[in-house]
Amino acid sequence: MASKASVLVADDDGSVRESLKSIIEAAGYEAFEAEDGDEALSVMGERSIDLLLLDLSMPKCDGLGVLARITPPPPVVIVLSAFAYFSMEDVSERAKGKVFRCLSKPVSPQKLLDTIAEAISSN
């Protein structure tokens, strides 16, 4: 039996993080949480993560800082952000191919799960 894909949700909003984690676990994935970029990097250093669901605006180390410090593969990265301070084009340019897809908050659970499934199957 294949192991479940692991997803790390990195978002500084606790209620958003918990909701996303619940949706992801209900779909059969293993989910982990990080409340800022430093914690996300720490989690990725401790365990194998297949997919990173990344908010851009976080304390300590923002999403772009996380992207600058990871070398895929893995994880596959989906940026899920409000894009209040960054444009999707800017993120794609600065991420230099590290981002599978950018989704704008709020996103429907079905669209999120479809994107996660597509990202994991592409890896």
The torsion angles phi and psi of 6, rounded to 5 degrees, stand at: -105, 135
Q: Quick one: how far is CA 77 from the chain centroid? A: 5
Overall average pLDDT of the 18-28 stretch: 96
Query: What digits encode the pLDDT tens for the residues 74-122?
Result: 688 888 877 666 677 777 777 777 888 888 888 999 999 999 999 988 8
Task: Output the six-digit token pair for 4.
Answer: 């479940």
21 part of a folded domain = yes
User: Which domain CATH number covers 115?
Assistant: 3.40.50.2300
Strand 30-34's sheet: what is its strand order? 30-34, 6-10, 51-54, 76-81, 99-104
1 part of a folded domain = no
Name the residue range of residue 76's domain: 6-122
Looking at residue 26, what DSSP letter applies?
Answer: H
Q: Residue 54's pLDDT band (boundaries 50, 70, 90)?
A: very high
Domain count of the chain? Answer: 1
48 part of a folded domain = yes
